[in-house]
Amino acid sequence: MRVIVCKDYNEMSEKAFEVMKDVITKNPKAVLGLATGSSPEGLYKCMVRDHEENGTSYQDITTYNLDEYVGLPKNHPESYYTFMHKNLFDHIDIKEENTHLPSGSTQEEADTYEKQWDAVTCDLQLLGIGRNGHIGFNEPGTPFAQTTHIVDLTPSTIEANSRFFDHDINKVPKQAISMGIGSILKAKKILLVASGAEKADAVKAMIEGPATESCPASALQKHDDVVVVLDQAAAAGLD
Ligand code: F6R
């Protein structure tokens, strides 16, 4: 793993953008795996700014998102579909038909998404990391070979995500459809961004701990092209 430590969230986003931009420049038809959440928001802002100021085009880019809540309508303000449109897709020239998010509540629908994913080669998979080391919605204990699946969210993830649902855990969906760790590892290159002290333990376990199912992100040790971009607080526990 290549680890880059930045002074703060903004620098982390700029650095991550450089990695992303390099992939897009080399291949304007790149397939990108995308994530939602606070971690990639700054990177998406950099992409939008670069599109507006430098005319970088996403016309031929294809995207596949990691995950989506089960049971939220597409246009719900907290759906990941809405997040991606609000933060990125509505501000660049990507074609709607080239953007993909998993949807549904059955394993059959999850398998269909995995088949679509298998039919392409992802050039860059972007990830955040949860406080418990989750990637996508792959919570501790998820087998590393797992493909797209329906997940019951853990209490800690429901609690963490309640900030988007009026801080009311009763409003947070209890299931998600998520690419598995095995799906994520199929990408040619992986870019993980993390900021803030609350991520420090998970980051340390991911990089320095053993590759174990109790820290899903530690599976990335098994991939040969991973770039981790951190702010100082998230990197604080590293040796
Ligand atoms: C989101 C996702 C999650 C987040 C993780 C960190 O698509 O897959 O694994 O990356 O929960 O979330 P933030 O960035 O909000 O701290």
Domains parsed from the chain with CATH numbers: 2-235 (3.40.50.1360)
pLDDT at 199: 98
Pocket of ligand 1 contains residue 163 by CB under 6 Å: no
Residues 190 and 225: beta-carbon distance below 8 Å = yes
pLDDT at 171: 93
Pocket of ligand 1 contains residue 181 by CB under 6 Å: no
pLDDT at 161: 87
How far is ligand 1, taken at its centre, from the CA of residue 233, in Å?
A: 17
pLDDT at 209 over 90: yes
Region 114-134: mean pLDDT is 97
Region 133-160: mean pLDDT is 94
Which residues are part of the catalytic machinery? 67, 132, 134, 139
Shortest-distance Cα residue to atom 2 of ligand 1: 136
Q: Is 36 exposed, middle or buried (0-12, 13-18, 19+ CB in 10 A)?
A: buried
Q: What is the value of ipTM here, to two decimals?
A: 0.99
pLDDT at 118: 98
pLDDT at 64: 98
Pocket of ligand 1 contains residue 37 by CB under 6 Å: yes
In the chain, which ranges are continuous DSSP H helix?
Answer: 9-26, 41-54, 80-87, 107-118, 155-161, 181-184, 200-208, 232-235
Report residue 229: phi and psi, to 5°: -115, 120
| pLDDT tens, position by position, 106-120 | 999 999 999 999 999
Shortest-distance Cα residue to atom 1 of ligand 1: 36
**Which ligand 1 atom is nearest residue 128's CA?**
10
- Region of 17 (left: φ > 0; alpha: ψ -120 to 50; beta: rest) is alpha
Tokens of 180: 């598995």
What is the rounded CA–CA span in Å between residue 12 and residue 192?
A: 10
Shortest-distance Cα residue to atom 10 of ligand 1: 128
**Which ligand 1 atom is nearest residue 37's CA?**
15
Question: Mutate which of 9, 34, 36 to test ligand 1's pocket (most atoms within 8 Å of Cβ)?
Answer: 36
pLDDT at 154 over 90: no
In the block, tokens 């992303």 appear at 20
pLDDT at 157: 83
**Which ligand 1 atom is nearest residue 134's CA?**
9
pLDDT at 156: 82
Pocket of ligand 1 contains residue 206 by CB under 6 Å: no
| pLDDT tens, position by position, 26-78 | 999 999 999 999 999 999 999 999 999 999 999 999 999 999 999 999 999 99
Q: What is the pTM (predicted TM-score) of this model?
A: 0.97
Which residue in 81, 82, 16, 98 sits closest to 50, CA to CA?
Answer: 16
